[in-house]
């Protein structure tokens, strides 16, 4: 099941399966990519809670999400996404730092970047907090503008 909510960075489609969030998608939505979504249900409890928490995040009232998550991916991708969850609100980490936290060399930065870009639950699994080694904003599946907006939102909330 899924629902759609407006946000400061455009409409978000939130997808639930078996009681857990499996995806958050940025508009424009890609409906024919083979991902299972089911029917729209704006009243499903998990989807309603996800919307509530996302609204609180965008209102700068929530710094840490507490939602059941079930991202689909390889074991390596899931290990990267677990590291993303450890990056605190308003903080950033480089691809190389994530690789090192996984016990890999800096050469694994590219693989970390690919896993980061495959994150199916952006914002909640904060892939926007990963930046280049030189501090630059690098690619983001939702677009660099959205990445910058999310980072600015968190920085503004800290001060």
Identify whether 127 is a catalytic site residue.
Answer: yes
From the list 87, 127, 131, 149, the catalytic residue is 127
Backbone torsion region of residue 135, taken as left when φ is above 0, otherwise alpha when ψ lies between -120 and 50, otherwise beta: left
Q: Which two tokens stand for residue 9?
A: 């960075």
Residue 106 burial class via C-beta count within 10 angstroms: exposed 0-12, middle 13-18, buried 19 and up: middle
* Whether the Cβ atoms of residue 9 and residue 128 lie closer than 8 Å to each other: no
Residue corresponding to tokens 């909640």: 124
First to last CA, the chain: 37
Cα 122 from Cα 21, distance rounded (Å): 11
* Whether the Cβ atoms of residue 140 and residue 81 lie closer than 8 Å to each other: no
What are the residue numbers of the active site? 127
């Amino acid at each position: 099941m899924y629902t759609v909510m407006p946000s400061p960075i455009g409409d978000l489609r939130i997808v639930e399966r078996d009681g857990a969030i499996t995806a958050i998608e940025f508009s424009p939505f890609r409906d024919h990519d083979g991902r299972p979504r089911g029917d729209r249900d704006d009243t499903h409890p998990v989807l309603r809670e996800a919307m509530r928490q996302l609204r609180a995040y965008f209102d700068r009232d929530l710094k840490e999400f507490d939602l059941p998550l079930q991202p689909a991916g390889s074991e390596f991708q899931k290990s990267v996404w677990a590291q993303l969850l450890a990056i605190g609100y308003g903080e950033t980490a480089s691809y190389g730092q994530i690789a090192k936290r996984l016990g890999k060399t800096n050469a694994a930065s590219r693989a970390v970047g690919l896993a980061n870009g495959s994150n199916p639950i952006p914002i909640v699994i904060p892939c926007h907090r990963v930046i280049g080694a030189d501090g630059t904003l690098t690619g983001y599946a939702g677009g660099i503008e959205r990445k910058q907006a999310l980072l600015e939102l968190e920085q503004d909330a800290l001060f």
